[in-house]
Amino acid sequence: MLEGKTAIVTGASRGIGRAIALELASRGAAVVINYNGSEGKAREVEKQIRENGGSVSVYQCDVADYGQCGKFIQDVIKEYGRLDILVNNAGITRDGLLMKMSEEDFDKVIDTNLKGAFNTIRFASRQMLKQKSGRIINMSSVSGVAGNAGQANYAASKAGLIGLTKAAARELASRGVTVNAIAPGFIETDMTDVLSEQVKEASVAQIPLGRFGRPEHVAAAAAFLASEEAGYITGQVLHVDGGMVM
Containing H/E element for 178? strand 177-184
Helix (H) or strand (E) holding 181: strand 177-184
The residues binding ligand NAP (CB under 6 A) are 10-11, 13-17, 34-38, 62-64, 89-92, 112, 139, 141, 184, 186-187, 189-192
* 140/38 Cα distance (integer angstroms): 22
**Going by C-beta distance under 8 Å and a sequence separation of 6 or more, which residues neighbour residue 7?**
21, 24, 29, 30, 31, 32, 84, 85, 86, 87, 226
Smallest gap, in angstroms, from Cβ of residue 4 to ligand NAP? 26
Give, to the nearest 10 degrees, the angle between helix 66-80 and helix 116-131.
30
Q: Which of 59, 80, 154, 232 is catalytic?
A: 154
Q: How many H helices and E strands in the chain?
A: 10, 7
Q: Shortest gap between Cβ of 242 and ligand NAP (angstroms)?
A: 11
CB closer to ligand NAP out of 21 and 177: 21
Is 35 part of the annotated catalytic residue set? Answer: no
Which is closer to ligand NAP, CB of 222 or CB of 230? 222
Given a contact cutoff of 8 angstroms between Cβ atoms, the answer to whether 13 and 35 are in contact is yes
Cα gap 107→55, rounded to integer Å: 36
Q: 4 vs 102, which CB is nearer to ligand NAP? A: 102
In this structure, is the dihedral angle defined by the CA atoms of residues 77, 231, 242 and 213, taken in order, positive or negative? negative
The least distance separating ligand NAP from the CB of residue 40, rounded to whole angstroms, comes to 9
Nearer to ligand NAP, 146 or 233 (CB): 146
Distances (CA, A) of 68 to 40, 77, 134, 165, 236: 20, 14, 22, 22, 29
What's the min distance (Å) between Cβ of 174 and ligand NAP? 28
Q: Nearest distance from residue 163's CB to ligand NAP, in Å?
A: 16
- Rounded distance between C-alpha atoms, residue 169 and residue 232, angstroms: 12
Whose Cβ is closer to ligand NAP: residue 29's or residue 61's? 61
Q: How far apart are CA 235 and CA 169, in angstroms?
A: 5
What minimum distance in Å lies between the beta carbon of 83 and ligand NAP?
A: 17
Taking the alpha carbons at both ends of the chain, their separation in whole angstroms is 30
Compare residues 129 and 191 and give the one whose CB is closer to ligand NAP: 191
Question: Catalytic residues, which ones?
Answer: 154
